[in-house]
Amino acid sequence: MNIVKTLAVAAGLATALSSAVFAQSLEGKVIGFSQIGSESGWRAAETAVTRQEAEARGVDLRFADAQQKQENQIKAIRGFIAQGVDGILVAPVVATGWEDVLTEAQEAEIPVVLLDRGVDAPEDLYLTSVASDQVEEGRVAGEWLVDNVGDDECRVVELQGTVGSTPAINRKAGFEEAIAGHDNITIVRSQTGDFTRAKGKEVMEGFLKAENGGADICALYAHNDDMAVGAIQAIKDAGLQPGEDIKVVSIDAVPDIFSAIAAGEANATVELTPNMAGPAFDALAAYMADGTEPEKFIITESKLYTAEDDPQGEYDRRKDLGY
């Protein structure tokens, strides 16, 4: 089973590829992909899957790494327009500031598909958006905490994703929604770790110092697994046991968090499939074949994993998949 098929199964995706569309329409097409960068294991896997999906379909993929900068993404998209590509994929680093460049793509009649993050722009400026329900991801993480804390007082520290990105905004909102009405659970500190392991560790070190060496922290909620993995190291360096002294819940389901769960150092993660490109290419293929308009929002699944879900097996299943 190749990486794409394995990921689709692992994520429980029912993408239901139409073989006619798959074989027919994207062979020889040129598709530009403006990727955010490589801030996390999940991002690396999304890039790997996109390349593999493109290759399987005979797509000429033009890849541009924006190094986390929106200006680089806008430049790359303008470059794709100038090259006259057949379609554009973009994973938008932040939500705002896209209207002009999306309008330019529309005027050039180049369909744009958003991957894994949203934009604050009129919906008619893109063909479709393939992403998770990020509010739901936060809600699932928050509900896990509510169920596992009971009536005990629980002071939570939060590592947010990139400021201004839709996953940071929505995962925060979903988590807050889940803990609302549970007055024993409060977020006492919240700061961005920019979705990176290094920043997650650094910010967690500050949280630990500010919270009585960590003794006053009951749980960490991280908007992605990489920040959680960095924070777990900080917790260990502070002489505490992550997963026990401080509960750890995060989002993505990358192999390293399954290692941590298997070792009892993390408690729960919410899966985000890295296979955004499969549904995106399907939508582009159908649109290019006969103008079929896809659903405006194609939503991927958000499944919770804990120590009860064979974390070592999940690690083994994912470790060679591009993360």
Contacts with 20 (C-beta within 8 Å, 6 or more apart), sequence order = none
Report in angstroms how near the CB of residue 118 gets to ligand AHR at its nearest: 9
The nearest distance, CB 235 to ligand AHR, in angstroms, is 20
Closest separation between CB of residue 137 and ligand AHR, Å? 8
Q: Which is closer to ligand AHR, CB of 42 or CB of 287? A: 42
Q: Map the chain to HEC letters.
A: CCHHHHHHHHCCCCCCCCHHHHHHCCCCCEEEEEECCCCCHHHHHHHHHHHHHHHHHCCEEEEEECCCCHHHHHHHHHHHHHHCCCEEEECCCCCCCCHHHHHHHHHCCCCEEEECCCCCCCHHHCCEEEEECHHHHHHHHHHHHHHHHCCCCEEEEEEECCCCCHHHHHHHHHHHHHHCCCCCEEEEEEEECCCCHHHHHHHHHHHHHHCHHHCCCCEEEECCHHHHHHHHHHHHHCCCCECCCEEEEEEECCHHHHHHHHCCCCCEEEECCCCCHHHHHHHHHHHHHHCCCCCCEEEECCCEEECCCCHHHHHHHHCCCCC
Which spans of this chain sit near ligand AHR (rule: CB under 6 A)?
39-40, 42-43, 116-117, 167, 195, 224, 226, 251-252, 272
Output 26 or 276, the one with its CB closest to ligand AHR: 276
Residue where the block lists tokens 């591009």:
322
Q: Quote the least distance from Cβ 20 to ligand AHR, whole Å.
A: 31
Give the nearer residue to ligand AHR in terms of CB position, either 37 or 242: 37
In angstroms, what is the minimal distance from the CB of 243 to ligand AHR? 20
Comparison of 41 and 294: residue with beta carbon closer to ligand AHR? 41
| Closest separation in Å from C-beta 190 to ligand AHR | 17
| Beta carbon nearer to ligand AHR, 86 or 252 | 252
| Cβ 247 to ligand AHR shortest distance, Å | 20
Using left for φ > 0, alpha for ψ between -120 and 50, and beta otherwise, residue 270 falls in: beta
Nearer to ligand AHR, 25 or 170 (CB): 170
- In the complex, the smallest distance separating the C-beta of residue 184 from ligand AHR, rounded to whole angstroms, is 28
- Report the alpha-carbon distance of residue 323 to residue 319 in Å, rounded: 7
- Residue whose CB is less far from ligand AHR, 81 or 131: 131
- How many whole angstroms separate alpha carbon 223 and alpha carbon 197? 12
Residue placing its CB nearer to ligand AHR in the complex, 287 or 323: 323
> For ligand AHR, which is the closer residue by CB, 3 or 251?
251
Q: Is 60 in contact with 29 (CB distance < 8 Å)?
A: yes
Shortest Cβ 296–ligand AHR spacing (Å): 18
